């Protein structure tokens, strides 16, 4: 009798455990997971290849979004690359809508995503890439470079997702080089900030380093404005690395720039005067103290403004005071 009473209880436990596993299995895939499976599908289609597409399409079919899931099932069932590309277009449409919807949250879990568009691919010719170099999944080897970048998404939002390309340009100019500047500036040119985008387009088209440095000054002005606004933001603040804001009085009309390294490397003067300038303040860094740690002088009005030698505050003009020992 005792054994018979135990059977229903044990059965109920087994059913509950099975239900837990089933619920976990049916849980919709997260947006970063969907992007992880979307990426190899795009790469395969760009290479005119169907290998592995079904496997990743099956994973995309676990999306909570009905349109995305339905398009992914159609993609998984595609028997030729033409049908696969048509289904991929619908997958892209639904996934891009989700990614754009997540933009307001500054989701750092998403990588920087390049949104491309091809006018030759109809009815829907947009797609996402983690890679910055265009590789068209709709045209494949026939026209792999057809299309253009229209936006940057993910990566924690602006200004976070712009920093890698900005810092690469600064490093090149500090070395008196234009190598890679056009490519990185082309990415900055799709910024949501109109002034930054316009300056970046001018930077991308620069054919000599003097013009490039002038355009870089305007890019810096706009990006520094974004970083400073981010510092003041209470909600939706992007997580930025520690960025040292330097200023060079010899570089006019705008001689400020950002760099991650604490040792000054002037992008406006290059090898002529690589150490010309002074630290204004340190921004970002997850709320760390805004100083380099070895700075001896500080502004009495702006504690974030520090320097290694005497001078005046670039914000208020007051003389910097020596820190108390």
C-alpha 190 chain-centroid distance: 12
Q: Positive or negative CA dihedral for 183, 189, 190, 196?
A: positive
Shared domain for 140 and 170, answered yes or no, is: no
C-alpha 41 chain-centroid distance: 21
Shared domain for 194 and 249, answered yes or no, is: yes
What are 152-185's pLDDT values in tens digits? 999 999 999 999 999 999 999 999 999 999 999 9
Percent of the chain with pLDDT over 90: 73
**Length of the chain as a residue count:** 325
Shared domain for 174 and 278, answered yes or no, is: yes
pLDDT bracket for residue 304 (50, 70, 90):
low
pLDDT bracket for residue 15 (50, 70, 90):
very low
Average pLDDT over residues 69-93: 98
Check whether 86 has a pLDDT greater than 70. Answer: yes
Token pair for 205: 């088209």
pLDDT bracket for residue 23 (50, 70, 90):
very low
Shared domain for 146 and 197, answered yes or no, is: no
What's the pTM value of the predicted model, to 2 decimals? 0.80
Shared domain for 214 and 260, answered yes or no, is: yes
Shared domain for 234 and 278, answered yes or no, is: yes
Give how many domains the chain has, as a whole number: 2
Task: Please indicate, yes or no, if residue 122 is contained in any of the structural domains.
Answer: no
Task: Please indicate, yes or no, if residue 21 is contained in any of the structural domains.
Answer: no
Q: For position 294, what pLDDT does the model report?
A: 52
Check whether 117 has a pLDDT greater than 70. Answer: yes
Shared domain for 231 and 169, answered yes or no, is: yes
Q: Which domain holds residue 102?
A: 31-107+129-150
Shared domain for 136 and 191, answered yes or no, is: no
231 or 108: which leads in pLDDT: 231
Check whether 53 has a pLDDT greater than 70. Answer: yes
DSSP label of 274? T
Task: Please indicate, yes or no, if residue 6 is contained in any of the structural domains.
Answer: no
Q: For position 58, what pLDDT does the model report?
A: 97
Task: Please indicate, yes or no, if residue 75 is contained in any of the structural domains.
Answer: yes
293 contacts: CB under 8 Å, gap ≥ 6:
none
Shared domain for 167 and 279, answered yes or no, is: yes
Q: For position 202, what pLDDT does the model report?
A: 98
Task: Please indicate, yes or no, if residue 305 is contained in any of the structural domains.
Answer: no
Task: Please indicate, yes or no, if residue 78 is contained in any of the structural domains.
Answer: yes
Q: Which of 23-32, 169-178, 245-254 has the highest mean pLDDT?
A: 169-178
Shared domain for 167 and 97, answered yes or no, is: no
Average pLDDT over residues 16-43: 75
Shared domain for 133 and 183, answered yes or no, is: no
Task: Please indicate, yes or no, if residue 309 is contained in any of the structural domains.
Answer: no
Task: Please indicate, yes or no, if residue 316 is contained in any of the structural domains.
Answer: no
Shared domain for 84 and 166, answered yes or no, is: no
Average pLDDT over residues 187-214: 97
């Amino acid at each position: 009798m005792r054994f018979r009473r135990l059977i229903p209880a044990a059965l109920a436990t087994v059913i509950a455990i099975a239900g837990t596993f089933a619920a976990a299995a049916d849980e919709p895939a997260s947006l970063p997971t969907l992007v992880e499976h979307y990426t190899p599908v795009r790469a395969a289609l760009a290479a005119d290849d169907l290998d592995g597409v079904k496997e990743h399409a099956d994973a995309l079919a676990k999306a909570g979004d009905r349109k995305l899931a339905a398009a992914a099932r159609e993609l998984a069932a595609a028997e030729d690359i033409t049908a696969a590309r048509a289904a991929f277009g619908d997958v892209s449409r639904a996934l891009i809508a989700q990614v754009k919807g997540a933009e307001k949250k500054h989701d750092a879990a998403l990588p920087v995503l390049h949104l491309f568009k091809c006018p030759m691919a109809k009815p829907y010719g947009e797609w996402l890439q983690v890679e910055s170099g265009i590789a068209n999944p709709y045209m494949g080897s026939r026209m792999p470079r057809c299309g253009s970048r229209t936006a940057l998404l993910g990566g924690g939002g602006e200004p976070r997702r712009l920093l890698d390309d900005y810092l690469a340009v600064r490093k090149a100019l500090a070395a008196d080089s234009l190598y890679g500047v056009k490519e990185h500036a082309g990415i900055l040119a799709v910024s949501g900030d109109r002034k930054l985008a316009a300056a970046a387009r001018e930077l991308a088209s620069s054919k000599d380093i003097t013009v490039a440095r002038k355009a870089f000054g305007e890019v810096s002005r706009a990006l520094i404005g974004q970083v400073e606004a981010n510092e003041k933001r209470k909600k939706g603040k992007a997580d930025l690395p520690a960025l040292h804001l330097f200023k060079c009085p010899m570089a006019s009309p705008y001689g400020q720039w950002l760099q991650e390294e604490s040792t000054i490397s002037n992008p406006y003067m290059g090898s002529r005067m690589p150490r010309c300038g002074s630290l204004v303040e340190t921004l970002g860094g997850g709320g760390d103290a805004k100083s380099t740690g070895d700075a001896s002088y500080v502004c009495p009005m702006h504690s974030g403004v520090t320097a290694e030698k005497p001078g005046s505050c670039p914000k208020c003009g007051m003389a910097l005071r020596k820190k108390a020992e």
